[in-house]
Amino acid sequence: MKPANNHGIKRIFRATGFSMQGIKSAWIHEAAFRQESILALLMLPFAIWVEVPIMEKLWLILTVFLVLIVELLNSAIEAVVDRIGDEYHPLSGQAKDIASAAVFLSLCLCGITWLVILWPLLKAAI
């Protein structure tokens, strides 16, 4: 049920609280989200520290956040499908597989972006 007083700053605080609950739930119930979050905690400081142009830093950071965002959406889709029922249905499997493919593509994009941006630094170090 929609709360009566859900306007202005109060709405923003409530929405932030719900968002934090979602992140906490994903952390507790989703191993992939935990793994990607830990990796993000290692990658983000490195992205800030590494000496590349600011736009490249931004791409490094954005692709890491994109992986986390897509993983959260994948987890939400899986939760909704699981809520509908335990019995197997081809469309349920299709929905889960497509959401998983989105996570895979976001991981590929992140990896390719990091490799392209950091390759000159890696070559120089070798």
Task: Quickly list DSSP for 64-76.
Answer: HHHHHHHHHHHHH
Catalytic residue list contains 36: no
Q: Is 39 exposed, middle or buried (0-12, 13-18, 19+ CB in 10 A)?
A: middle
Catalytic choice (30, 71, 78, 87): 71
pTM of this prediction exceeds 0.85: yes
pLDDT of the residue at 87 = 84
Question: By the 8 A CB rule, do 110 and 64 touch?
Answer: yes
Q: Where are the domains of the chain?
A: 30-125
Task: Please list the ranges in the chain whose pLDDT falls under 50.
Answer: none
> Topology of 30-125 in CATH?
Helix Hairpins (1.10.287)
